[in-house]
Amino acid sequence: MEKQQFKAESKRLLDLMINSIYTHREIFLREIISNASDAIDKLAYTALTDDKVGISRDEFAITITRDKEGRTLTVSDNGIGMTKEEMEENLGTIAKSGSLGFKQAMEKNEDIDIIGQFGVGFYSAFMVASSITVISRKYGQDTAWKWVSDGADGYTIEEAHRDGPGTDVIMTLKADTEEEKYSEYLDEYELRSLIRKYSDYIRYPIKMEVTKSRPVEEPEAAEGEEAEDKAPKYESYTELETLNSMVPIWQRPRKDVTDEEYETFYREKFFDYNKPLRIIHSSAEGAVSFKALLFIPGKAPYDFYTKDYKRGLQLYSSGVMIMENCEDLLPEHFRFVRGVVDSQDLSLNISREMLQHNRQLTIIARNIEKKIKSELKSMLENEREKYEEFYAAFGRQLKYGTVSDYGAHKDSCQDLLLFYSHKQGKLISLKEYVEAMPEGQEKIYYVPGENKDRLAKLPQVETLSGKGYDTLLFTEDVDEFIPQTLMTYMEKSFCNASSEDLGLQTEEEKKAAEEKAEELKGMLTFVKETLGDSVKEVRLSDNLGKAPACMVPDAGMSFEMEKYMKRMNPEFAYPVGRILELNPEHDAVKAMQRLMTEDVLKAKDYAQLLMYQAMLMAELPLDDPYAYTELVCRLMN
Ligand code: ADP
């Protein structure tokens, strides 16, 4: 028999397939099953108007047969089948997509929906098969045809026999190699899991002979005989089993699905043994129609804050899984969300790159982002305890989201942030902070540091507290970047109370402070000269409450950030300028001032001591703890 050659473009694609452009060879099965399902769709559609079809809806099925000796895997369907010409056209030419043609022909009718245009689906079988035989009989014809190809060399086609309409795709698997064990595609367990993974929601049953075992009934022990305590015997038998569940949970109306069903689905699908914290089941109609079933996990997976964690949603087109982890559906700041999206509007192609620029996908992604935001917001407003649980797991991600890309995603994140309120003693949102601001308070005050309790004792916090103003205690690395990114929230600017002017002084108070600084200029110069390069500046402050001195960072920076940089990238870390603030009303400061004339050496020791104290309170490490100890001992003598 003469070999026919593939058309040029098909040949090229075939070469690509044989050398595998798919990273996951296993998807060939999904493609072949999806073709079978399409073919059944077509015959089922024909059956609506043609009673000669003679197959009832529940007889349609896809059958998988394995032959271990022959190394063949067969996928059969009782769908529409192909004529000789169609086989040549469809399997010999790639540019022509049968489904597409059919869809156009049936365009008028909404009822039928043919699974996406998998332009190169069939050929993917050559990733695992050295030779493929297709036996097909078109509905309405008596003859069947057999198409055989071993890929590269073209194909043959001859008359054959088949009972009833439909198609068998018989794949002879390639020989196993070191890297690839093709024979695993004959393994019952492997096939079962591939079908669950990729084709679970195909609308027709996918049946396969599976091996089962049952206990063998033993004859009753005869009377007088001791009934021995024997282990029961088992025998194995085979049974045709349906491997797919057919109706995806997200296609069912929300009211028909129980919480338990959602939870089971979530656990099985996403391998989390905790319950999801929130279930979002939504559907959209319009420019693009889709269904989404999303879950907010109750706990962060152990690898969540590492590079190993992969964000993304599972993407389906009419029940066929297209992509296991579609990153483009989920923004980075909501990467904790798990779920499934199904849309029949996606014109899908195997190329990931093409999917990335897909307009429909962009619309779906935007829609999903909005949905997640509004669900979280409603949880924050109405189910506070639950939200805090969520926030404990994923709050940090929202903070990163706020500051990432120079604040490009702040609209999605900023309203969802919580910080610890010194005044209220609990986590509050920025909105709650602003709404609780008393008359006269103009700024959102915060202090960065490692420990809430120590921050609460900062003199500035006490000063603010005295006026009835609240301070947010920022204890996470990323917190401090938030005011810098947001600049304002609800038109209020942020103020780092530990380093910036609190803005509390009236004009008169400011003037008085300036006069005081002028008056004590000699003391300030004395201290600066004594301390040398250890400090950048020495100045007075009237925000220090009971503390004699305080170390504050140079404008725009903070000690926390200095420490953070040192941890993240020591090479680029640089010290933040240290400014020593003195409380002129404090006895210790006054004592030093007195000693400046009576005992200069002692006054110098006092100045040093004040600096050390300020360093300790600011949680800054002492460069020379020995010098500090020596100093204290000298003063004690
Ligand atoms: P696509 O599915 O995107 O059309 P394929 O290469 O997977 O691309 O298949 C090409 C064509 O071959 C299909 O459109 C269909 O007309 C035909 N075909 C493939 N498998 C079957 C089948 N099991 N039954 C009937 N026709 C089939």
Residue nearest to atom 2 of ligand 1 (CA): 118
For the segment 80-86, the average pLDDT, to the nearest whole number, is 96
For the segment 615-619, the average pLDDT, to the nearest whole number, is 87
Atom of ligand 1 nearest to the CA of 116: 3
For the segment 614-635, the average pLDDT, to the nearest whole number, is 91
Atom of ligand 1 nearest to the CA of 31: 7
* pLDDT band at residue 356 using 50, 70 and 90 as cut-offs: low
Give the mutation target among 60, 83, 90, 199 for probing the ligand 1 site: most ligand atoms within 8 A of CB: 90
Alpha-carbon distance of 312 to 386, in angstroms, equals 23
Give residue 98 CA to ligand 1 midpoint distance, Å: 6
**The predicted structure's pLDDT at residue 126:** 85
Residue nearest to atom 18 of ligand 1 (CA): 35
For the segment 90-105, the average pLDDT, to the nearest whole number, is 50
Decide if 427 contacts 442 (C-beta within 8 A).
Answer: no
Residue nearest to atom 15 of ligand 1 (CA): 98
The binding-site residues of ligand 1, defined as CB within 6 angstroms of any ligand atom, are 31, 35-36, 39, 77, 79-82, 90-91, 97-99, 117-123, 167
- The model's pTM is 0.67
Structure tokens at 358: 């897909």
Alpha-carbon distance of 637 to 630, in angstroms, equals 11
Give residue 429 CA to ligand 1 midpoint distance, Å: 55
* pLDDT band at residue 101 using 50, 70 and 90 as cut-offs: very low
- Letter for the amino acid at 521? K
Give residue 177 CA to ligand 1 midpoint distance, Å: 29
Residue nearest to atom 12 of ligand 1 (CA): 90
pLDDT tens readout for residues 238-268: 999 999 988 888 998 899 888 988 998 898 7
Atom of ligand 1 nearest to the CA of 101: 14
**The predicted structure's pLDDT at residue 118:** 35
The backbone torsions φ and ψ at residue 478, rounded to the nearest 5 degrees and listed phi first, read -75, -20
Atom of ligand 1 nearest to the CA of 123: 6
* pLDDT band at residue 152 using 50, 70 and 90 as cut-offs: confident
Atom of ligand 1 nearest to the CA of 115: 2
Alpha-carbon distance of 212 to 236, in angstroms, equals 5
For the segment 452-462, the average pLDDT, to the nearest whole number, is 90
**The predicted structure's pLDDT at residue 567:** 80
* pLDDT band at residue 15 using 50, 70 and 90 as cut-offs: low
Angle formed by the axes of helices 600-617 and 587-598, to 10°?
150
* pLDDT band at residue 220 using 50, 70 and 90 as cut-offs: low
Give the mutation target among 6, 13, 38 for probing the ligand 1 site: most ligand atoms within 8 A of CB: 38
Give residue 76 CA to ligand 1 midpoint distance, Å: 13
**The predicted structure's pLDDT at residue 13:** 61
pLDDT tens readout for residues 564-601: 778 877 777 778 899 999 999 999 999 999 999 999 99
The chain-wide mean pLDDT, for the chain, equals 86
Give residue 377 CA to ligand 1 midpoint distance, Å: 46
What is the DSSP code string of 368-431?
A: HHHHHHHHHHHHHHH-HHHHHHHHHHHHHHHHHHHHGGGGTTHHHHGGG-EEEETTTTEEEEHH
Decide if 62 contacts 29 (C-beta within 8 A).
Answer: no
Give residue 123 CA to ligand 1 midpoint distance, Å: 10
Q: Provide the b/e sequence for 516-526 (b: ≥16 CB within 10 Å).
A: eeeebeebbeb
Atom of ligand 1 nearest to the CA of 80: 25
Give residue 93 CA to ligand 1 midpoint distance, Å: 11
- How far from 156 is each of 68, 150, 305, CA to CA, in Å? 25, 10, 55
* pLDDT band at residue 43 using 50, 70 and 90 as cut-offs: very high
Give residue 132 CA to ligand 1 midpoint distance, Å: 14
For the segment 301-328, the average pLDDT, to the nearest whole number, is 84
Structure tokens at 292: 């989404």
pLDDT tens readout for residues 517-543: 999 999 999 999 999 999 999 999 888
Decide if 179 contacts 186 (C-beta within 8 A).
Answer: no
For the segment 354-378, the average pLDDT, to the nearest whole number, is 87
Give residue 190 CA to ligand 1 midpoint distance, Å: 24
**The predicted structure's pLDDT at residue 380:** 97
Give residue 352 CA to ligand 1 midpoint distance, Å: 21
**The predicted structure's pLDDT at residue 225:** 59
- How far from 582 is each of 43, 236, 263, 445, 576, CA to CA, in Å? 89, 88, 60, 22, 19
Termini Cα distance of the chain: 112
Decide if 145 contacts 82 (C-beta within 8 A).
Answer: yes
**What are the chain's domains?**
10-212 (3.30.565.10), 249-391 (3.30.230.80), 417-504 (3.40.50.11260), 505-637 (1.20.120.790)
